[in-house]
Amino acid sequence: MRFYQKQHPFYCGIDLHAKTLYVCIVAHDGEILVHRRIPARPDAFLKLVCPYREGLVVGVECMFSWYWVADLCREHEIDFVLGHALYMKAIHGGKVKNDKIDAEKIAMLLRAGMMPIAYVYPKEMRATRDLLRRRCYLVGIRARALSHIQNTNTQYNLADLAKRITYAANREGLAEHFPEGSTRRMIELDLALVDQLDDEIRRLELYLTRTAKIDAPHDYYRLQSIPGVGKILSMVLLYEIHDIRRFPKVGNFLSYARLVRCSHESAGKRCGFGNRKIGNAHLRWACSEAAFVMTRESDEVKQFLARKEKKHGKPKAIAILNAKLGRAIYYILKRKEPFDPKRFFTT
State the DSSP string of 191-244.
HHHHHHHHHHHHHHHHHHHHHHHHH-HHHHHHHTTSTT--HHHHHHHHHHH--G
Q: Are residues 108 and 188 in the same domain?
A: no
Q: Are residues 82 and 150 in the same domain?
A: no
Would you state the pLDDT for residue 275?
64
Q: Using DSSP bridges, classify how beta strands 10-16 and 20-27 pair: parallel, antiparallel or unpaired.
A: antiparallel
Would you state the pLDDT for residue 85?
86
Does some domain include residue 270? no
Total of domains in the chain: 3
Q: Are residues 133 and 105 in the same domain?
A: no
Q: Cα separations (Å) of 334 from 215, 249, 255, 285, 343?
A: 17, 10, 17, 21, 15
Q: Are residues 241 and 304 in the same domain?
A: yes
Of 116, 139, 169, which residue is a domain's last? 116
Q: Are residues 109 and 12 in the same domain?
A: yes
The 10 Å Cβ neighbour count of residue 127 is: 11
Confidence band of 183 (pLDDT split at 50, 70, 90)? very high
What mean pLDDT, rounded, does the chain reach? 91
- Give me the sign of the Cα torsion angle 27, 31, 33, 34: positive
The 10 Å Cβ neighbour count of residue 195 is: 12
Does some domain include residue 223? no
Q: Are residues 211 and 283 in the same domain?
A: no
Would you state the pLDDT for residue 283?
94
Would you state the pLDDT for residue 110?
93
Q: What is the mean pLDDT of residues 116-138?
A: 94
Supply the pTM of this predicted model: 0.86
The answer to whether residue 91 scores a pLDDT higher than 80 is: no
Domain residue limits at 40: 3-116
Would you state the pLDDT for residue 97?
82
Alpha-helix runs per DSSP H in the chain: 42-49, 67-75, 89-92, 99-112, 123-155, 181-215, 217-223, 231-241, 250-256, 281-297, 299-312, 314-335, 341-346
- Rounded Cα distance, 110 and 59, in Å: 7
The answer to whether residue 329 scores a pLDDT higher than 90 is: yes
Q: Are residues 204 and 309 in the same domain?
A: no
Q: Are residues 137 and 69 in the same domain?
A: no
Residue of 346 and 156 predicted with greater confidence: 156
Q: Are residues 339 and 243 in the same domain?
A: yes
Q: Are residues 131 and 111 in the same domain?
A: no
Q: Are residues 107 and 128 in the same domain?
A: no
